[in-house]
Chain A
Amino acid sequence: AQSVTQLDSQVPVFEEAPVELRCNYSSSVSVYLFWYVQYPNQGLQLLLKYLSGSTLVKSINGFEAEFNKSQTSFHLRKPSVHISDTAEYFCAVSERGGGNKLTFGTGTQLKVEL
């Protein structure tokens, strides 16, 4: 079984400031790692994923996350946030070879202020 911990339920940040959303996971087997974003009253959209290879993965809108196996972490970062980044961010894992059954963290609400 897997579990995902997102310690920060809310992260307020000013526009153009950097941000880090923390994610730690626990699993007895190898996993894939994901970050999803949810805008109000919308479904989840995949932001980025780590399957294999380079431990640093990037999205098209400036977010990046680094898989750290020794610390079992997959923190999400952006060097300069925009108002439009305000949303809920969910970290998730799935077991390798286990299909797309995802275990989610409880989410982090990112609020970008002027």
Chain B
Amino acid sequence: NAGVMQNPRHLVRRRGQEARLRCSPMKGHSHVYWYRQLPEEGLKFMVYLQKENIIDESGMPKERFSAEFPKEGPSILRIQQVVRGDSAAYFCASSLYRGEMNTEAFFGQGTRLTVV
């Protein structure tokens, strides 16, 4: 059973370009979370998605950032018109969710975005 797969592992974009980060959750997981880790900082929650639904996007910047998790295929985090401040490691996590009882979130290895 493959873990959470993120690609690409490293992504370099020039200012103003678009960045697309992909996340394939673990088999059977229908909940996906995106986090951003800036240099020397902890991970910050960005967005929580189920299949075809955004559950919580309270951590997403209001502009240029969007996320989706379609019925088929990976979850995509899209950053339009990237700026240097978007340079960070972006981590995806997936989990099962069974109501009140929390379950473990499994993390991917991250995509390291560098904006030049």
Chain A residues engaging chain B, CB cutoff 8 angstroms: 4, 6, 32, 36, 41-46, 49, 51, 90, 94, 96-97, 99-107
Contacts and interface: CB of A to CB of B under 8 A. Distances in A.
B-side interface size class: 20 to 34
A56 to B, nearest CB: 19
B52 to A, nearest CB: 16
A94 B95 CA distance: 13
B107 interface: yes
Contacts of A97: 99-100
A27 B113 CA distance: 32
Interface of B: 4, 6, 31, 33, 35, 41-45, 48, 55-56, 91, 93, 95, 97, 99-110
A113 B33 CA distance: 35
A99 B102 contact: yes
Contacts of A32: 102
Contacts of B100: 96-97
A43 B43 contact: no
Contacts of A107: 41-42
Contacts of A94: 102
Contact of A100 (B6, B91, B97, B99): B97
A51 B107 contact: no
B42 A100 contact: no
A44 B6 CA distance: 13
